[in-house]
Amino acid sequence: MCGIVGYIGNKQAVNVICDGLEKLEYRGYDSAGVAVVNGDSKVNWAKKQGRLSGLEAVLEQSPIEGTVGIGHTRWATHGAPSDINSHPHLNMSETIAVVHNGIIENYMEIRERLTAEGYVFKSETDTEVAVHLIDKYYEGDLLQAVYKAVAEFRGAYALGVVSSNHPGELVAVRKESPLIVGVGEGEYFIASDVPAILKYTRNVYYLENDEVVYVKDGKIQILDAEQNVVDKELKVVEWDIEAASKGGYDHFMMKEIYDQPQAIRDTLLRRLDENRMIRLDDIKLTKEDLDGIQKMYIVACGTAYHAGLVGKYAIEKLAKVPVEVDIASEFRYSDPFIDEHTLLIVVSQSGETADTLAAMKLAKSKGARVLAITNVVGSSVAREAHDVFYTWAGPEVAVASTKAYTAQMIAFYMIALDFAFKKGTITLERYHELVNNIEALAPLVEEILADKAQIEKMAEDMKDAQNAFYLGRGVDFTTAREAALKLKEISYIYTEAFAAGELKHGPIALIDQGTPVLSIVTQDALQEKMISNIKEVKARGAFVIAIAKKGDTEIAKVADDLFYIPEAEDLLMPVLAVIPTQLISYYVSIARGNDVDKPRNLAKSVTVE
Instruction: Determine which one of 2, 18, 175, 301 is catalytic.
Output: 2
Q: What is the DSSP string of 124-147?
A: S-STHHHHHHHHHH-SS-HHHHHH
Give the range of 14-22, 222-230, 302-310, 518-526 binding ligand F6R by CB under 6 A. 302-310
Give the range of 344-352, 439-447, 492-500, 590-598 binding ligand F6R by CB under 6 A. 344-352
* Residues in binding contact with ligand F6R, number by CB under 6 A: 15
- Distance of closest approach, residue 353 Cβ to ligand F6R, in angstroms: 3
- Residues between 464 and 503 that touch ligand F6R (CB under 6 A): 485, 489
- Distance of closest approach, residue 253 Cβ to ligand F6R, in angstroms: 10
Pairing of strands 155-163, 96-104: antiparallel
345 binds ligand F6R (CB under 6 A): no
- Chain centre distance of CA 66: 35
Give the range of 75-83, 299-307, 462-470, 571-579 binding ligand F6R by CB under 6 A. 299-307
Please, which residue, 256 or 552, has the CB nearer to ligand F6R? Answer: 256
* Amino acid (one-letter) located at 264: I
Q: What is the CA radius of gyration of the chain?
A: 25
Q: Is 604 a catalytic residue?
A: yes
Q: Which residue number places its CB atom closest to ligand F6R?
A: 302
Residues 6 or more apart whose CB falls under 8 angstroms from that of 490 comprise 253, 399, 400, 585, 586, 588, 589, 594, 596, 599
Helical H segments across 246-396, by residue range: 252-258, 260-269, 287-291, 302-319, 328-331, 354-365, 380-384
Of the residues 400, 480, 487, 531, which one makes contact with ligand F6R according to CB under 6 A: 400
Residues 6 or more apart whose CB falls under 8 angstroms from that of 592 comprise 463, 491, 492, 493
Helical H segments across 559-605, by residue range: 573-591
329 binds ligand F6R (CB under 6 A): no
Of the residues 91, 353, 479, 491, which one makes contact with ligand F6R according to CB under 6 A: 353
Which has the closest alpha carbon to 418: 402, 435, 441, 406? 435
Give the range of 155-163, 195-203, 295-303, 472-480 binding ligand F6R by CB under 6 A. 295-303
- Distance of closest approach, residue 28 Cβ to ligand F6R, in angstroms: 17
Please, which residue, 223 or 301, has the CB nearer to ligand F6R? Answer: 301
- Distance of closest approach, residue 577 Cβ to ligand F6R, in angstroms: 16
Please, which residue, 418 or 489, has the CB nearer to ligand F6R? Answer: 489
Please, which residue, 95 or 356, has the CB nearer to ligand F6R? Answer: 356
Please, which residue, 37 or 578, has the CB nearer to ligand F6R? Answer: 578
- Distance of closest approach, residue 264 Cβ to ligand F6R, in angstroms: 18
Rounded to whole angstroms, how far apart are CA atoms 275 and 432?
A: 10
Please, which residue, 142 or 400, has the CB nearer to ligand F6R? Answer: 400
Of the residues 31, 350, 406, 478, which one makes contact with ligand F6R according to CB under 6 A: 350
Please, which residue, 3 or 302, has the CB nearer to ligand F6R? Answer: 302
Instruction: Determine which one of 295, 422, 529, 604 is catalytic.
Output: 604
Please, which residue, 99 or 400, has the CB nearer to ligand F6R? Answer: 400
379 binds ligand F6R (CB under 6 A): no
Rounded to whole angstroms, how far apart are CA atoms 455 and 460?
A: 9
Which has the closest alpha carbon to 110: 174, 153, 146, 172? 153
304 binds ligand F6R (CB under 6 A): yes
Give the range of 155-163, 275-283, 348-356, 462-470 binding ligand F6R by CB under 6 A. 348-356
Please, which residue, 64 or 393, has the CB nearer to ligand F6R? Answer: 393
Give the range of 33-41, 86-94, 197-205, 297-305 binding ligand F6R by CB under 6 A. 297-305
Rounded to whole angstroms, how far apart are CA atoms 90 and 131?
A: 6
356 binds ligand F6R (CB under 6 A): yes
301 binds ligand F6R (CB under 6 A): yes
Which has the closest alpha carbon to 280: 375, 371, 343? 371
Of the residues 303, 342, 491, 522, which one makes contact with ligand F6R according to CB under 6 A: 303
Q: 580 preceded by cis ω (within 30°)?
A: no
- Distance of closest approach, residue 594 Cβ to ligand F6R, in angstroms: 14
**Packing angle, helices 428-439 and 403-423, rounded to 10:** 170
CA distances from 349 to 285, 384, 404, 481 (A): 22, 15, 6, 18
Rounded to whole angstroms, how far apart are CA atoms 474 and 4?
A: 44
401 binds ligand F6R (CB under 6 A): yes
What length does the chain have? Answer: 609
Helical H segments across 122-259, by residue range: 128-137, 142-150, 241-245, 252-258
- Distance of closest approach, residue 313 Cβ to ligand F6R, in angstroms: 18
Contact 565, 580 (CB under 8 A): yes
- Distance of closest approach, residue 258 Cβ to ligand F6R, in angstroms: 17
Rounded to whole angstroms, how far apart are CA atoms 23 and 87?
A: 17
Rounded to whole angstroms, how far apart are CA atoms 212 and 173?
A: 4
Rounded to whole angstroms, how far apart are CA atoms 34 and 344?
A: 41
Please, which residue, 121 or 492, has the CB nearer to ligand F6R? Answer: 492
Give the range of 125-133, 195-203, 285-293, 346-354 binding ligand F6R by CB under 6 A. 346-354
Pairing of strands 369-374, 342-348: parallel
Give backbone dihedrals phi and psi of 31, rounded to 5 degrees, phi first: -165, 165
Instruction: Name the residues annotated as catalytic.
Output: 2, 604
Residues that bind ligand F6R (CB under 6 A): 301-304, 348-350, 353, 356, 400-401, 485, 489, 605-606
